[in-house]
Structure formats: structure tokens, C-alpha cells
Amino acid sequence: MCAANEGSPGSVGSVESGDEERGKQARGNESKRSLTLLPLAALIFYEVSGGPFGIEDAVSAGGAQLAIFGFLLLPLVWSLPEALVAAELATAFPENSGFVAWVTAAFGPFWGFQEGLWSWLSGVSDNAIYPVLFFAYLQEACPLFKQPLYHWPMLFGSVIGLTFLSYRGLTIVGTTAIVLTVFTLLPFVIFFFMAIPQVNLDNFAQPVVWEKVQWGPYLNCIFWNINYWDSASTLAGEVKDPRTTYPRGLMLALVVVVGCYLLPL
């Protein structure tokens, strides 16, 4: 009788209606996705890098040749594998929980919660650096911002403005990320072409003084600048056609990140 019930027209109809309902839900979720290739790549760029700021420590700790070598080698042995893993898992779990979903699926909800909590704390402390770092560069060009009367309002104003953009939604955030990426990288591209006639190749032929290399600060600086490729997995639920768009966005962002470090060096 159970077999007869399983094969009855009513049971088949219920299964088909369930599949149809899931299909409608999937199409509905897909229609809500707003991130395309360029906005996604720009957001990944800011998740990982944000521009060639803070790479000076690699030069002071290891010299120009070793800094260039590091920003060529470590992306190949660390950034590229991490980006490929993130792309595979993000397409397998195309949802906004990102790496929390990965850990939960592998180790259970307790460790998924731990991953989310400590990643959030790490992100809060790490992202707090960038507005301060940006205004440190800005103060060199405009000493007026060294005065507390102008420094603090501009600092808090930038944080509030970026928070408001996040509140408005990913469509405007993605467009803003593209504009900010061009705004951030354009001066370095201009300076690069202006500096080409003044390049002295003899500087690159000087041997590295290995005894003076400060390996701790050198490796820490490079690793900090090319890490966090998995952070963008929290955008996977907003990406249109994530199985193709997300891997392409990661690879495009990887090229931009490595290039933005090598050009100034």
C-alpha cells in the first residue's frame, strides 16, 4: 500500500509542485541579486587592498628589490590559491553568510558562530586603520588637516558617509566602489608614467644586504597587504550568476591588487 501511495498521481503532483515552488524561489533570489562583474571586482579590491598604502614598510625592512620580489611571489603562492578556494566555496554556497556557512557545513554551528564572531572583531579592528591611514597621507598634501578642528570632523564624516552608502544598498555601494577605485589608483598610474624617464636600472642591480633584512616586519607587511580574499564571500548572495561572475571578479581583483603594489615600487 505504501508503494501504491508513493506512485499515486497525487503524490507525484505534490513532488512536482514542491519542485516548482523551489524553482520559483530560486528565480526570485536570482532576480534580487544586483552585483555584476565590475562592482564586485571593485568591492573585492577594497576588501583586500584599497590601494598601495602601507607598502613602505616592506621597502624599509627588506629593500626595493626584495619588496618587488615579495609582491610578485607571495600573490602566486598565497593570494592565488586563497582566491581560487574562495571562488569555489562561494559558488558552492552562494549566500551572504560566506565563510560562516563554510565552517558551519564542515564543523557545525558552534564553530560557525566562532568564525563569524572573531572575523567580525578582526574586521572592525582592521577597517578602523584605513580612514586614519588615508588622512595621514592627506595631511602630507594638505597640512591644514593636521589641526584637530579639521582632522576629526573629516575623519568622522568619512566614516558616517561610507556607513550611509552601505545603508542605501549594494547597487550604490558597487558603483561608488568603482569610482573610488579609479580615484585611488589614477594618481599612482600618472606618477608611474611620469617616473619612467627617471628610472635608474642600476638601483635594481644592487645586491640585497641579507644581514640587514628585517624578516618579521617585511613578511608581515606583504602578508597584510595581500590577505583576506575570503572576506568577499559575504557578498556571494548578492552576485548575479555567481558561478561565473564571482571567479572572474576575484581574478580581476587579483590582477588589480598586485598591479597597484608593483607600479609604485
Confidence of residue 23 (pLDDT cuts 50, 70, 90): very low
Residue carrying C-alpha cell 549566500 = 95
Residue carrying C-alpha cell 614598510 = 57
- The answer to whether the Cα torsion of 191, 196, 198, 199 is positive or negative is positive
Q: Which amino acid is at 184?
A: T
Distance CA 99, CA 143 (A): 42
**What is the average per-residue pLDDT within 32-45?**
87
Distance CA 231, CA 26 (A): 24
User: Cell numbers of 235, please?
Assistant: 557578498
Is 170 exposed, middle or buried, given 0-12, 13-18 or 19+ CB atoms closer than 10 A? buried
Of residues 90, 52, 46, 92, the one with CA closest to residue 71 = 52
Distance CA 216, CA 260 (A): 23
How much is the pLDDT for 42? 93
Number of other residues whose CB lies within 10 A of the CB of residue 110: 10
How much is the pLDDT for 20? 52
223 versus 1: which is more confidently predicted?
A: 223
Q: What is the pTM of this model?
A: 0.76
- Confirm if 238 and 96 have CB atoms less than 8 A apart: yes
How much is the pLDDT for 127? 76
How much is the pLDDT for 29? 52
Task: State how far Cα 58 lies from the chain centre.
Answer: 21
State pLDDT tens for residues 60-102.
898 888 999 999 999 999 999 999 999 899 989 988 889 999 9
User: Cell numbers of 13, please?
Assistant: 503532483
Confidence of residue 25 (pLDDT cuts 50, 70, 90): very low
DSSP state of 207: P
Distance CA 257, CA 219 (A): 17
For the chain, the average pLDDT equals 82
State pLDDT tens for residues 113-136.
999 999 889 888 877 777 777 778
Distance CA 49, CA 70 (A): 16
Q: Helix or strand or coil: residue 35?
A: strand
168 versus 5: which is more confidently predicted?
A: 168
State pLDDT tens for residues 205-242.
778 888 889 999 999 999 989 988 988 888 888 888 88
State pLDDT tens for residues 156-198.
888 888 888 878 878 888 888 999 899 989 988 998 899 888 8
